[in-house]
Amino acid sequence: MSVNRDDVAEQEYLPSIADLLADTSRPTFSFEFFPPADQAGSDVLAQTILDLDATGPDWLSVTYGASGATRDRTIRATRFIKKRTEAQTMGHLTCAGQSRDELLATLARYAEADVRHVLAIRGDMPGGPTVPWQQHPDGLANATELVSLIADNFSFGIGVAAFPDPHPQHRDPELDARLLLEKQQAGASFAITQLFFDAGAYARLVERVRAIGCTLPIVAGIQPVTNIAQVERFAALSGAALPQRVVRRLHAVADDPAQVRRVGVEIATELSAEVLRAGAPGLQFFTLNRSRATSAILANLRRLGLDRRSPAVASDG
């Protein structure tokens, strides 16, 4: 990745993501990227990272492909973030299609790159989340085992996934809640939701997990809508329900890409505001390696004064 900018000096200390989420005075704002496939994509990602770093994010994260397919590109992207920004850095890790030794080798590479947080995810089979899960013969069975592997061998801060809408493979919200508690017991210190479009689904998730003793702070994952077909595909793959009110608003402007972007920013701003007012400790934006929509949503929230948390809800999350 090549962008003309002086390297950011190494920080002697950055608060952990768990520490940031424990600060009840304000919500966290973070951004997720995916590893690019070619040099053109790398250049776009580099500029997007630097553009969004200017907004002062709390952390930046990079996804990890099924079966470790993007391992090297993910590591390169996290190295770039560590070198060129002042934010905490988190690398994702999935156990799909990989042995324990391969997983430990990737974790060692994260440690060598001074990446101090890992998002531990079971991951989907290459065909997507509805394809039946198959454990690698020398691998792990689920995300809880991955959390334990990380906690037993490294000192990373560990994040995990949470599901406002039921996981599409088993569609059992109570099971999702129990699994989140098991991940906490295995060593996770925070969770980030999959994308969702109904603030009520987030609130019900928090209620379910708190009722069984899970205390993990749960960051709300927000997907800016800039392309109708794309977001409908993501929603179908993740099991996220697209409310009819959202569908109607988007399809009313479907013939005008600029209006789709405008309405998409409005929808994401409204959703973000609702979950923050309900006590969400932070938002993570799934940027798709673009900065404009995410920057616009964040600016809207700051104009609304939602970069500070209400004392009435500060402890919820």
Closest by CA position to 103, among listed 50, 79, 139, 75: 139
Q: Identify the active-site residue in 32, 86, 112, 232.
A: 32
The answer to whether the Cα torsion of 40, 62, 31, 232 is positive or negative is positive
The answer to whether the CB of 175 falls within 8 A of the CB of 162 is: no
Residues 6+ apart with CB under 8 A from 36: 42, 44, 45, 73, 77, 289
CA-CA-CA-CA dihedral for 144, 18, 265, 209, to nearest 10: 50
The answer to whether the CB of 298 falls within 8 A of the CB of 55 is: yes
Max Cα separation, the chain?
53
The answer to whether the CB of 310 falls within 8 A of the CB of 274 is: no
The answer to whether the CB of 29 falls within 8 A of the CB of 283 is: yes
d(CA 173, CA 241): 14
The answer to whether the CB of 57 falls within 8 A of the CB of 27 is: no
**Residue 274 catalytic?**
no
Closest by CA position to 61, among listed 275, 219, 236, 269: 219
d(CA 283, CA 301): 11
How are the residues of the chain apportioned to helix, strand and coil, as percentages rounded to the nearest 5? 45, 15, 40
Indicate the DSSP class of residue 9. P
Catalytic residues: 32
